[in-house]
Amino acid sequence: MKIIQENTLLTPDDTHRLIGQIADRLVADITRPDLRAVVGIRRGGALVAEALHARLQERLGVELPLGHLDISFYRDDLETIGPNPVVGGTDLQFDIDGKRIILVDDVLQSGRTIRAALNALFEFGRPEIVDLAVLVDRKQRQLPIQPTYRGLELETGEREVIKLIKTGEAAMSVAHRFMGDE
């Protein structure tokens, strides 16, 4: 399949605003910032996590641990993505036991990426709680996984793709792509 049409769903300003709204909702719910840590799922979720992490630290006035999680080898669709998956590496330089993790992804669709991320995360310890924050929720679940925090909820068809695009040093936009046969 190839892209037959692409529209900008979220401009960099829109994306920045939504991440700020997610941060505001998180700040309202955080009672123990000393137990919180932000973990982004590579690749797009890591970008969103970095921006969310900065906003949370600014609003809370405390240092929060930030980590990145690579789920390549935890996926259940490894055979469909080819023999050479892009591996970004996991970077969790803090103990997650007893932490209240904010797991961050860019787009939530089937729930399979989140399932893989939870499996990978629990290889490193046992957090007290895991909250899921996503920039875009596509509402097409194959697994019973729901975000705790979401920026935008959007219903899409199976030939539509939502893609986070890094547009600058700290800027991101979100594209809405319509796919068709060649």
CA distance 33 to 10: 30
pLDDT confidence of residue 158: 84
Give the pLDDT of the chain (182 residues) as one tens digit per residue: 888 999 999 999 999 999 999 999 999 999 999 999 999 998 899 999 999 999 999 999 999 999 999 998 776 665 555 555 566 688 999 999 999 999 999 999 999 999 999 999 999 999 999 999 999 999 888 899 999 999 999 988 888 899 999 988 778 999 988 988 86
Classify residue 85: in a domain, yes or no. no
Classify residue 42: in a domain, yes or no. yes
β-partners of residue 104 are 40, 133
By residue range, what is the domain housing residue 24? 13-72+95-156
- Residue 169: which residues within 8 A CB-CB, separation 6 or more? none
Virtual torsion, Cα 154, 136, 150, 53, nearest 10 deg: -170
Burial bucket for residue 84 (CB in 10 Å: 0-12, 13-18, 19+): exposed
CATH code of 150's domain: 3.40.50.2020
Classify residue 122: in a domain, yes or no. yes
Torsion-angle region of residue 89: left (phi > 0), alpha (psi -120 to 50) or beta? left
Torsion over CA: 14, 42, 88, 100 (sign)? positive
The DSSP secondary-structure symbol of 4 reads E
pLDDT confidence of residue 80: 55
What is the tally of structural domains in the chain?
1
Task: Report H helices in 30-160.
Answer: 44-60, 112-122
- Could you tell me which of 150, 68, 71 has the C-alpha nearest to residue 109? 150
Classify residue 1: in a domain, yes or no. no
